């Protein structure tokens, strides 16, 4: 099923998973059967709260009592002598120790403004500016590979339809490669930041709908203040951490089951909403901690669901940009620049943090507010596409990420 959604639909595509039914022919000829799953975190991830630079002399000055520390009340998990992982990510830490996780820090797309809509557009289109194309880099990457039929028991030996979890096709997978969708029975309620982003968009493009959203938000606030719709005793809250984690794990587990099948797809994309942590971020014990725990559970579900195929799998977790280096007045972080890319999978050369570290001193911050980007995310993605699924250098520079010939693929990410 091919579908070209509006930006309005794109925002509602949380939890969408899409994949294709084709094996990379060259990789197959080499005796490999690689899988690649891209997870997009919508809303912008605080990379400093995910992987903290505990060895940076300016770290504590920057974040104060919100700084993750090795000896903090909730100790961070040491990755090396300089970086430490958020304590909510025990699965990722275990995989890191098993050399099945690589983390790229101080990474960003070429986009340097701070709009979610435009940032996601650049992230998923693979171009240097928003609105320049209506197809995604992952779909175009598939288009450059000669489609090879999967070995199947059916006499026709034709690929089955590809699959998708969720109702809406995000930009990263839009294009000529066909997809179909599957929607899980349990969908989470829209996060507050999703509603606020919709409101911001519609105030400029659809004022009438914006007024409806505002009225609905007002009614919800009144109902909450009056005790209406409160969680019954003994029940988990509808939008609580347990439900978010269950949904993340369910969607990721579904992805793994499809990708692990001998006759299943090999490349896919999944998105999770809710990462816009402007207030009450809570890196160690609050909202972000819960989200990272849910993401950690999702990665664990992929590993478990892949079974033996995990050894040929790479999961790439990416987001549109980072968040401010400093905590704001509402105990959150605002839209920033550089962040982290999290890579997991048995096919990786892991157990390391890859960073040209810019520092977090006042002078080192980008525009005196953000972690400075020193690695182009396209280099990371190019490295995975080239070495894992065998997309050519020429195709990467001209088709997958047009105009990026000067951005060289990062080498040595996979075995």
Residue ranges of domains in the chain: 7-187+242-400, 190-237
Cα 202 to its chain centre, rounded Å, is: 25
Cα 68 to its chain centre, rounded Å, is: 22
> What is the distance between the alpha carbons of residues 409 and 388, in angstroms, rounded to a whole number?
12
| pLDDT per residue as tens digits for the range 51-78 | 999 999 999 999 999 999 999 999 999 9
- In this structure, how many other beta carbons lie within 10 angstroms of the beta carbon of residue 360? 22
| pLDDT per residue as tens digits for the range 197-244 | 555 655 666 666 555 555 444 444 433 433 333 333 333 334 578 888
pLDDT score for 255: 87
SS3 202: helix
| pLDDT per residue as tens digits for the range 74-123 | 999 999 999 999 999 999 999 999 999 999 999 999 999 999 999 999 99
The mean pLDDT of the chain is 82
What six digits make up the tokens of 133? 């194309």
DSSP code at position 399: I
Alpha helices in 68-149 (DSSP H): 90-97, 116-125, 137-144
Mean pLDDT of 138-142: 89
Q: Which option is the CATH number for 7-187+242-400: 1.20.1260, 1.10.3210, 3.40.720, 1.10.3470?
A: 3.40.720
Alpha helices in 206-355 (DSSP H): 207-225, 241-260, 287-306
SS3 340: strand
Beta bridge mates, 31: none
Please give the model's pTM, rounded to 2 decimal places. Answer: 0.83
Q: How many CA atoms lie within 13 A of 248 on its CB side?
A: 24
């Amino acid at each position: 099923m091919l579908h070209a959604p509006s930006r309005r639909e794109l925002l509602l595509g949380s939890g969408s998973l899409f994949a294709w039914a084709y094996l990379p022919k060259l990789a197959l000829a080499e005796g490999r059967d690689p899988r690649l799953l891209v997870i997009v975190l919508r809303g912008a991830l605080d990379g400093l709260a995910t992987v903290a630079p505990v060895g940076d002399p300016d770290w504590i000055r920057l974040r104060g009592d919100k700084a993750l520390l090795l000896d903090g009340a909730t100790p961070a998990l040491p990755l090396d002598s300089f970086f430490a992982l958020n304590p909510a990510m025990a699965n990722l830490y275990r995989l890191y120790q098993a050399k099945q996780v690589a983390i790229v820090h101080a990474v960003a797309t070429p986009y340097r403004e701070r709009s979610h809509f435009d940032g996601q557009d650049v992230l998923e289109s693979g171009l240097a500016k928003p609105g320049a194309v209506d197809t995604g880099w992952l779909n175009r990457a598939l288009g450059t590979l000669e489609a090879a039929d999967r070995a199947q028991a059916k006499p026709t030996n034709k690929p089955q339809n590809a699959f998708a979890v969720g109702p809406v096709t995000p930009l990263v997978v839009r294009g000529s490669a066909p997809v179909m969708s599957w929607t899980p029975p349990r969908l989470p309620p829209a996060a507050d930041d999703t509603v606020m982003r919709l409101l911001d968009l519609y105030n400029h493009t659809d004022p009438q709908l914006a007024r409806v959203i505002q009225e609905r938000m007002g009614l919800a606030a009144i109902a909450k203040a009056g005790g209406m719709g409160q969680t019954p005793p003994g029940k988990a809250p509808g939008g609580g951490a347990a439900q978010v984690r269950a949904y993340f794990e369910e969607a990721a587990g579904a992805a793994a089951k499809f990708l692990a099948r001998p006759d299943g797809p090999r490349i896919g994309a999944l998105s999770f909403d809710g990462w816009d942590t402007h207030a009450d971020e809570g890196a160690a014990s609050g909202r972000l901690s819960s989200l990272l725990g849910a993401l950690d559970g999702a990665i664990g579900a992929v590993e478990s669901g892949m079974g033996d195929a995990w050894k040929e799998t790479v999961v790439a977790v990416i987001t549109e940009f980072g968040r401010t280096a400093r905590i704001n007045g509402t105990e959150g972080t605002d839209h920033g620049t550089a962040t982290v890319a999290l890579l997991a999978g048995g096919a990786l050369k892991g157990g390391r943090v890859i960073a040209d570290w810019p520092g977090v001193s006042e002078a080192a911050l980008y525009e005196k507010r953000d972690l400075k980007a020193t690695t182009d995310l396209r280099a990371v993605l190019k490295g995975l596409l080239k070495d894992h699924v065998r997309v050519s250098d020429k195709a990467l520079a001209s088709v997958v990420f047009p105009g990026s010939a000067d951005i060289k693929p990062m080498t040595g990410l996979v075995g």
